[in-house]
Amino acid sequence: MHKLLVVDDETDICDFVKTFFKDRGFHVFTALNGEEALAIAKKERPDLVLLDIKMKGMDGLAALRHIKELDRSIKIIMVTADSGLP
């Protein structure tokens, strides 16, 4: 079973994505911030991370760097709902 880590500071988004992928056979973990994501990544070693860019505290870019330092084989998809990014 593939492991997916969903990281977003909006609970509704985490819940929706978790349900969607669980129904398709993934083992899904969720985190509401970068710090929590890093702790889960260390313990669970997900195959894929869906990572929000803009979050309070450790943002997605910092979390990306830390997760890649932990294990470069983890695939990461960066996402955002912020239309103000260049």
Please state the domain extents for the chain: 27-80
The C-alpha atoms of residue 15 and residue 66 are separated, in whole angstroms, by: 24
Q: Would you say 38 and 84 are in contact if contact means Cβ atoms under 8 Å apart?
A: no
Specify the pLDDT at position 84: 64
Kindly tell me if the per-residue pLDDT of 86 is higher than 90: no
18-43: per-residue pLDDT in tens?
999 999 999 999 999 999 999 999 99
| pTM for this predicted structure | 0.91
Confidence of residue 81 (pLDDT cuts 50, 70, 90): confident
Average of pLDDT values for 10-20? 96
Instruction: Name the class of domain 27-80.
Output: alpha beta
